[in-house]
Amino acid sequence: MFISSAFAQTAPAAGGGDMMSSLGSMLPLVLMFVVLYFVMIRPQMKRQKEARAMIEALAKGDEVATAGGLLGKITSLNDQYLGLEIANGVEIKVQRSAVVQVLPKGTVK
């Protein structure tokens, strides 16, 4: 009484249309990945490469800023650590990776 008669639906025609529709539905996903790559991933990789080159090019006498906000002059270099003079006669050891910026000469007095 309350249940209506169910009608069988016809099966879709077999053919190559399924492949085009699945390709069309994947297109937005592929486009989003391409945009994500050029907007986020590629610039981040470029920044990492520049930071790595800056850390490898550190030399004795360079004036640097660390991630903790310390400013100083490099007095000694090691593979992983460097000596940083933050005041006259005050030298600390910091990791090379803590250096975030090489300052122009004469900045630290």
Distance CA 81, CA 104 (A): 21
Average pLDDT, the chain: 87
| pLDDT confidence of residue 11 | 59
Rounded to two decimals, the pTM is 0.65
| SS3 category, 53 | helix
The CATH class that applies to domain 59-103 reads: mainly beta
Domain boundaries, the chain: 18-57, 59-103
Where are the alpha helices (H) located in 42-100, listed in sequence order? Answer: 42-56
pLDDT digit string, tens, across residues 17-63: 567 777 788 888 999 999 999 999 999 999 999 999 999 999 999 99
- Closest alpha carbon to 75 in 106, 66, 63: 63
Backbone angles phi and psi of 43, in degrees to 5? -65, -35
